[in-house]
Amino acid sequence: MSRALTEPESAALVAMIERGVPDDGVVGDADRREWLELVPWIRAGDRCGCGTCPSIELVVDERPGTAGGPRIVLVAGVAGALLLLFVDGGRPSYLELAPVGDERITEFPPADEIR
């Protein structure tokens, strides 16, 4: 089952696509534009079960695309956490917030705090 992204999820996803830094290699503007065009079709799948983070699977609904292909990871920082966006085969697949310390962070932070 999937559901629509919440406002904070959608804003964090867009910020990550626009400003996330690839952990390896180069991501071009054309890639980022392509992923941004997918955003309206992206829904939230399962949420991480750990209870201390808001990480979600991303499901690109009702839109044909490539299956498989290389994985790209975009990384950004927020206060107390790292944000990671996984893109598999040209489709955003997972939006992760990884707390750096023991603090529970259960919502994605405002996009303007993502750097």
Alpha-carbon dihedral of residues 30, 24, 18, 5, nearest 10 degrees? 110
Locate 57 and state its tokens: 């699977």
Q: Give the one residue of 29, 50, 67, 102 binding Zn ion; rule: CB under 5 A.
A: 50
Q: Give the one residue of 12, 16, 17, 53 binding Zn ion; rule: CB under 5 A.
A: 53
Q: What angle (nearest 5°) sits at the alpha carbon of residue 42, between those of residues 110 and 111?
A: 10
Please tell me whether residue 48 binds Zn ion under the rule CB under 5 A. yes
Stretch that binds Zn ion, among 26-34, 43-51, 74-82, 101-109 (CB under 5 A): 43-51
Rounded to a whole number of angstroms, the minimum distance from the CB of residue 64 to Zn ion is 30
Residue with tokens 């992206």: 42
Positions in the binding site for Zn ion (CB under 5 A): 48, 50, 53, 55
